[in-house]
Chains A and B, each alone.
Chain A
Amino acid sequence: MQVEDILNQPIGSKLFLLGNEAMVRGFIEAGVSVATTYPGTPSSEIGNVLHHLAKKADIYFEFSVNEMAAFQIAAAAASTGVRAVTFMKHVGLNVAADALMSSAYIGTRGGFLIISADDPSMFSSQNEQDNRYYAQFAGLPLLEPTSPAEARDMVKYGLKLSEDLELPVILRTTTRVNHVRGIVVLEEIETRPKKGYFNKNPRQFVPIPSFAFHMHPLLLQKLTSARNISETSPLNRLERASLNTDFGLIASGIAYNYVRDAIDKWGLNVDLLKLGFTYPLPLNLIEDFVSTHTNIIIVEELEPLVEKEVRALAQQNNLSSCIRGKYDNTLPRVYEYTPDIVEKILINLINPDKMDNPLFQTPEFKLPNRPPVLCPGCSHRATFYSVKRALQEKGIKDSIFPSDIGCYTLGIQPPYHAADYVLCMGSSVGTAGGFFRATNQKIISFIGDSTFYHAGITPLLNAVHNKHQFLLIILDNFTTAMTGHQPHPGSNIDGMGDEAPRISLENVVKSIGVDWIKIVDPYDLDATSSAIKEALDCQGVKVIISRRACSLLEARNKRKRGSWKKVIINTDICSMCEICIHDFACPAIFKTKDLIQIDASMCDGCGVCINICPVEAMVWEE
Chain B
Amino acid sequence: MNKNYLAILIAGVGGQGILKAGTLLGEAALLENKKIISTEVHGMAQRGGSVINEIKIGEVQSPLINKGEADIILSFEPAEALRVLDKASPETYLIVNTNPIIPLTVSSGLSTYPDLNLAWKIVRDIYPRLKLINARKIALEAGNSITENVVLLGVLCSVPIFPISTESMMKAIENGFPPKFRELNLKAFNLGLEKGKEGISLL
B79-110 near A? 1/0 per residue, CB < 8 Å? 11011011011100000000000111111111
Q: In the bound complex, do residue A339 and residue B2 qualify as a contact, i.e. CB atoms below 8 Å apart? A: no
Pairwise interchain contact B105-A370, C-beta atoms closer than 8 A: yes
- Rounded to whole angstroms, the CA-CA distance of A256 and B62 in the bound complex is 9
Contact assessment for B30 and A14 in the assembled complex, using a CB-CB cutoff below 8 Å: yes
Q: Is B43's CB under 8 angstroms from A44's CB?
A: yes
Which stretch of B45-53, B150-158, B182-190, B195-203 is in the interface?
B45-53
Whole-angstrom distance from the CB of A183 to the nearest CB of chain B? 7
Q: Which residue of A lies closest to B136 (CB)?
A: A601
Asked if B109 contacts A370 (CB within 8 A), the reply is no
Known contacts A264-B2, A369-B105, A581-B109; is A1 also within 8 Å of B38 by CB? no
Closest to A45 in B: B42
Assess whether A94 is interfacial by the CB under 8 Å rule: no
Asked if residues B67 and A16 are in contact (CB atoms below 8 Å), the reply is no
Interface hit among A59-67, A157-165, A218-226, A359-367: A359-367
Whether the Cβ atoms of B67 and A183 lie closer than 8 Å is no
Chain A, 1-42, contact with B by CB distance < 8 Å: what is the 0/1 string?
A: 100000000000011101000000000000000000000011
Residues of A within 8 A of B46 (CB): 372
- How far is A257 from B66 in the complex, measured between Cα atoms in Å? 13
Q: Interface digits, B107-151 against A, CB 8 Å rule (1 contact, 0 not)?
A: 111111110000100110010000000000000000001000000
List chain B residues, Cβ under 8 A from A587.
Answer: 48, 104, 107
Residue A368 contacts which of B39, B64, B79, B175 (CB distance < 8 angstroms)?
B79
CB distance from B49 to the nearest CB of A (A): 4
Nearest chain B CB to A563 CB, angstrom units: 12
Given the interface contacts A368-B112, A373-B104, A582-B109, does A360 sit within 8 Å of B47 by beta carbon?
no
A265-B1, A362-B126, A363-B126 given; 15 more Cβ-contact pairs under 8 Å: A45-B42, A123-B42, A180-B37, A181-B22, A181-B37, A181-B39, A258-B61, A264-B60, A340-B64, A343-B66, A362-B85, A366-B112, A413-B104, A414-B108, A585-B104
A591 within 8 A of B: yes
B45 near A181 (CB under 8 angstroms)?
no
- CB of B130 to closest CB in A, whole Å: 12
Q: Which residues of A contact B4 (CB under 8 A)?
A: 264
Is the pair A339, B86 in contact by a Cβ cutoff of 8 Å?
no
What mask results when residues 23 to 42 of chain B are scored 1 for a CB within 8 Å of chain A, else 0?
10011011001011111111
A410 to B47, Cβ gap below 8 A? Answer: yes
Is B192 in the interface zone, CB < 8 Å from A?
no
Pairwise interchain contact B61-A260, C-beta atoms closer than 8 A: yes
Report A146 CB to chain B, min CB distance, Å.
7
Q: Whole-angstrom distance between the alpha carbons of A145 and B102 in the complex?
A: 39
Out of B45, B109, B114, B122, name the residue touching A123 (CB < 8 Å).
B45
Closest to B90 in A: A360
The reply to whether B61 and A146 contact each other, CB–CB distance below 8 Å, is yes
Query: B23 to A1, Cβ gap below 8 A?
Result: yes
Which residue of the partner chain, among A41, A183, A360, A371, contacts B42 with CB atoms under 8 Å?
A41
Question: How far is A343 from B86 in the complex, measured between Cα atoms in Å?
Answer: 17
Q: How large is the interface on B (under 10, 10 to 19, 20 to 34, 35 or more residues)?
A: 35 or more
Q: Is the CB of B49 within 8 A of A372?
A: yes
Residues of A with Cβ closer than 8 Å to B? 1, 14-16, 18, 41-42, 44-45, 123-124, 146-147, 176, 179-183, 256-258, 260-261, 264-267, 338-340, 343, 354, 358, 360-363, 365-375, 407, 410, 413-415, 482-483, 581-582, 585, 587, 589-591, 601
Contact between A366 and B114, CB atoms less than 8 A apart: yes
26 pairs across A/B with beta carbons < 8 Å? A1-B27, A124-B45, A179-B39, A180-B38, A181-B22, A182-B37, A183-B30, A256-B61, A339-B66, A358-B68, A362-B86, A365-B82, A367-B82, A367-B83, A368-B103, A368-B113, A370-B105, A371-B103, A371-B104, A375-B47, A410-B47, A581-B108, A585-B104, A585-B108, A587-B104, A601-B145
A354 to B2 alpha-carbon distance, docked (Å)? 12
Contacts of A18 in B (CB 8 A): 40
- Decide if A261 touches B60 in the complex (CB within 8 Å): yes
Residues of A contacting B59 in the complex (Cβ-Cβ under 8 angstroms): 264
Q: How far is the CB of A575 from chain B (nearest CB, A)?
A: 17
Instruction: Flag if A181 contacts B40 (CB, 8 Å).
Output: yes
**Which A residues are CB-close (under 8 A) to B67?**
340, 362
A147 to B37, CA, bound (A): 9
Distance in Å from the Cβ of B34 to the closest Cβ of chain A? 9
Nearest CB of A to B64, in Å: 5
Contacts of A42 in B (CB 8 A): 42-43
Q: Which residue on B lies nearest to A582, using beta carbons?
A: B108
Bound Cα distance A70, B67 (Å): 41
Q: How far is the CA of A54 from the CA of B97 in the complex (A)?
A: 40
